[in-house]
């Protein structure tokens, strides 16, 4: 496939295409026109064509999109054919909840370890994962080829821990700590800032404008 | 304050300003120039001035921004002076984790009830909140003036439940179900789609481009 720069806005929309196509596939739909996909997703047909053209354009005039093919291609673009080993660092409420999700596995992202400094948590088993002492994390990352850390630690600790994890070889962070990580180039950070989301909701409730992706 | 249309992009950035100003306030910083705020937040000073001008512009030439004043004003704009009663519907992993957070309270958003259909969960107490039978939800919403439902149910059930909750009087949803809710006008939906976030991370790991707000 032709390698070209894809805008951040398009990348942000890809998971949503992937989800709708997955739902269509599950319903047994084999092909769909950009028009039908448009009314389903509440996005203009022209935007759909434009977005999907970024990836070579899988639509055919008069036929529409092959759902299964497009689903698989977007999956590949999203990197779901790569396996990413993940560890959870910080096994509080959010950390535990994420360990319990098994649906992430279908995205090629597998939680294989969990770490905390709290001796009351170390040794506990959550969804088959034994919580280990954080002091073991460096060894574990090297041993198990871990790519991604799910960072669910208090914001005060997050920056320092993230820097440490980068030294141990972590290349990407799914960051739930309510702070912006400042790491070197080449380190990927995807933030989930729940408080920001709640503040947007609060704003929308007050102003009654829908803020929604 | 002058009422004008504020772009969605600005609204999306406001919580981040609020967070940085809160941190500065906690550190005892009383005023800050747009230049200093710019290097701290890694946003251009011109964007900061432009963004904050939307709200009447609180900066003064040669003085900068008054941290406390700006923090409070943005708080008001975000609606933090309004109290929103929230209920959690669906007390699974994510629902429980959210009930255990108490920091949402400082945003004027208070979880005052939790509901599920699972008899093994009904009657359980989580962080002082007793899980109630979902069949009681309509009564509770009216009785307690509930504005927001935190929707943490499986995606298959989400649409139907959301419509029901709207009939009972819910005006806003913090939607963690992995589906787009299609509700009437005037109903606010703020989505937290963790899987989309993980897919973006997966994409970035593959392409090594940082996708980050």
> pLDDT tens-digit profile of B159-199?
999 999 999 999 999 999 999 998 988 999 999 999 999 99
This complex has an ipTM of: 0.85
Please list the residues that pair with B172 across neighbouring strands.
Answer: B148, B188
* CB spacing of A189 vs B212 below 8 angstroms: yes
Compare all CA atoms of chain A with the CA of B179 and give the residue at the minimum distance: A19
Residue A211 — pLDDT band, cuts 50, 70, 90? very low
Residue A80: pLDDT above 80?
A: yes
Picking from B18, B97, B201, the nearest residue to A97 by CB comes out as: B97
Model confidence band, residue B209 (pLDDT cutoffs 50, 70, 90) = very low
How many angstroms from the chain centroid is the CA of residue B40?
23
Task: Report CA A110 to chain centroid distance, whole Å.
Answer: 12
Task: Find the mean pLDDT for residues A116-123.
Answer: 97
Q: What is the pLDDT of residues B82-133, one digit of tens each?
A: 788 999 999 999 999 999 987 787 788 889 999 999 999 999 999 999 999 9
Highest average pLDDT, of A7-16, B3-12, B190-199, comes from: B190-199
Give CA torsion, residues B123, B161, B91, A27, to 10 deg.
130
Count of other CB atoms within 10 angstroms of residue B213: 13
For B195, which residue in chain A has the nearest alpha carbon?
A104
Do the beta carbons of residue B210 and residue A11 sit within 8 Å? no
Distance of residue B177 Cα from the nearest chain A Cα, in angstroms: 12
CB B90 within 8 A of CB B152: yes
Provide the pLDDT for residue A64: 81
3-state helix, strand, coil in chain B (%, to 5): 45, 20, 35
Task: Give the model's pLDDT for residue B97.
Answer: 94
Distance CA A103, CA A71 (A): 17
Residue B213: closest CA among chain A residues belongs to which residue?
Answer: A191
CA of B76: which chain A residue's CA is closest? A203
- Long-range CB contact pairs, A165-169, < 8 A, 24+: A165/A89, A165/A137, A165/A141, A167/A138, A168/A137, A168/A138, A168/A141, A168/A142, A169/A141, A169/A142
Look over chain A and give the mean of its residue pLDDT values, rounded to a whole number: 88
Least CB-CB distance to B203: which of A77, A97, A194? A77
- How many CB atoms lie under 10 A from the CB of residue A122? 18
Q: What is the pLDDT of residue B61?
A: 65
CB contact under 8 A, B201 and A77: no
Record: contact B19-A195, CB cut-off 8 A? yes
CB contact under 8 A, A193 and B80: no
A101–B97 C-beta distance less than 8 A = no
- CA B129 from centre of chain: 20
CB A99 within 8 Å of CB B93: no
Q: How many residue pairs from chains A and B have C-beta atoms closer than 8 A? A: 180
Estimate the crossing angle of helix B45-53 against helix B8-26, to 10 degrees. 110
* Cα–Cα dist A24/B50, whole Å: 43
Best probe of the A interface among B181, B205, B208, by most A CBs < 10 A, is B205
Does A19 contact B189 at a Cβ distance shorter than 8 Å?
A: no
Question: Is A196 in Cβ contact with B212 (below 8 Å)?
Answer: no
What rounded mean pLDDT belongs to chain B? 88
Residue A209 confidence (pLDDT) above 80? no
Query: Do B186 and A200 make contact, defined as CB atoms within 8 angstroms?
Result: no
* Distance (Å) from the alpha carbon of B130 to chain A's nearest alpha carbon: 18
Confidence of residue A2 (pLDDT cuts 50, 70, 90): very low
Residues of chain A neighbouring B180 (CB-CB closer than 8 A): 42
């Amino acid at each position: 496939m032709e390698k070209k720069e894809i805008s951040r806005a398009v990348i942000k929309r890809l998971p949503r295409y992937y989800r709708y196509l997955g739902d269509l596939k599950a319903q047994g739909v084999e092909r769909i026109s950009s028009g039908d996909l448009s009314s389903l997703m509440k996005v203009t047909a022209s935007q759909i064509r434009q977005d999907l053209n970024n990836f070579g354009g899988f639509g055919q005039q008069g036929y529409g999109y092959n759902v299964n093919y497009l689903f698989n291609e977007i999956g590949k673009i999203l990197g779901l054919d790569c396996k990413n080993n993940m560890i959870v660092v910080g096994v509080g409420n959010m950390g535990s909840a994420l360990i319990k999700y098994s649906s992430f596995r279908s995205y090629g992202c597998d939680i294989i370890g969990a770490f905390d400094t709290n001796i009351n948590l170390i040794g506990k088993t959550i969804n088959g994962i034994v919580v280990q002492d954080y002091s073991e994390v460096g060894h574990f990352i090297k041993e198990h080829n871990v790519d991604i850390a799910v960072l669910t630690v208090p914001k005060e600790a997050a920056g320092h821990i993230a820097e440490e994890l980068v030294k141990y070889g972590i290349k990407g962070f799914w960051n739930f700590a309510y702070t912006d990580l400042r790491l070197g180039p080449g380190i990927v950070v995807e933030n989930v800032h729940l408080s920001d989301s709640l503040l947007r909701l609060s704003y929308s409730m007050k102003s009654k404008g829908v803020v929604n992706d």
